[in-house]
Amino acid sequence: MEITATQVNHFRTHGFFFIPNPFGEARMREMERLAAENEEQWATTDWPNGFNRLACQFFMIGEPILRMVEQPQLIEAAKRLLECDRVHVGACGLGDASKIICPDSRQRQVHWHADGGPEVQQVSFRTALDRHDPTNAPLRILPGSHRRSREEVWEELIQLEIATGQHDVLPEKAYVKHPAEVEVVLDPRWMLVWTPSCWHATGVKTAAGPRRAMGWNYFPAGGRKRDLRAMRYIFAEEWESWGAERKRLWGLLD
């Protein structure tokens, strides 16, 4: 898997592109099996405060998932996209985000937001364990919004939200359909390569059943290290004996 110059340009301009899932069906099935095996233990564990629960579920898969993220072609692609010679993984997650973000509400949908602005360099690789079709809360991306100021994009979304006529007062969150948004029907056969600095939301989950995704974000030196504590906690018995290269990739060394 080598990414092309036009894919790099598409990422810079629009904030995303797709590659065929580089892991293939057998390895995706293995991820699914391991995730299912761990699910109960994960759900009943009282994780320390501040841990991202989806990152914990990701790390519980163990060695097979670390090896996926450590694929040299993916790291090379990340370095090229971020124009740097070293990257680390600063955030990751596996599981059903719709359950975590809106556990009780009937509105099973994530509002418009960006995880970082134009100044945050990051690239996320994401695939689905279940197909995220239009009834299964698909990710919605506003192409090119990672290059615009947060204030400007927010104003645009809130104006569209008010224009729906559903609000008596200024809304605090926006879910509205943007005329330029891309609804990503993510299938396990594909992998989305994107920057979470690009504004995104999800569609409403009306379908029953799981909506699991797995993803991880590479950052250049100095970038975010959100899940470092969770990683040290879950690999407590092992991480100190890892080689320098692995430690560096997972942000355990500077």
Residues that bind Fe ion (CB under 5 A): 115
Min dist CB 201 to Fe ion, Å, is: 9
CA 199 – CA 192 distance, rounded (Å): 15
Strand partners, 109: none
CB of 86 to Fe ion, least distance (A): 25
Residue with smaller CB distance to Fe ion, 34 or 120:
120
Return the number of the residue (175 or 235) whose C-beta is nearest Fe ion. Answer: 175
Query: Cβ of residue 98: shortest distance to Fe ion, in angstroms?
Result: 12
Taking alpha carbons only, the member of 171, 111, 183 closest to residue 142 is 183
The distance of closest approach from Cβ of residue 67 to Fe ion in the complex, given in angstroms and rounded to an integer, is 26
Cβ 97 to Fe ion shortest distance, Å: 8
| Nearest residue to the partner Fe ion, using Cβ | 115
Nearer to Fe ion by Cβ, of 68 and 141: the residue is 141
**Sign of the alpha-carbon dihedral angle for 242, 248, 252, 254:** positive
- Please say which residue, 38 or 127, places its beta carbon nearer to Fe ion: 127
Q: Name the one residue in this structure whose structure tokens are 């095996």.
A: 37
The structure tokens listed for 229 are 């504590």
Of 202, 204, 212, 186, nearest to 142 by C-alpha is 202
Name every residue whose Cβ is closer than 8 Å to that of residue 63 and which is 6 or more positions away in sequence.
none
CB of 112 to Fe ion, least distance (A): 10
Closest CB to Fe ion among residues 141, 231: 141
CB closer to Fe ion out of 116 and 188: 116
Closest to 234 (Cα-Cα) out of 57, 88, 12, 111: 57
3-state secondary structure string across 30-67: HHHHHHHHHHHHHHHCCCCCCCCHHHHHHHHCCHHHHH
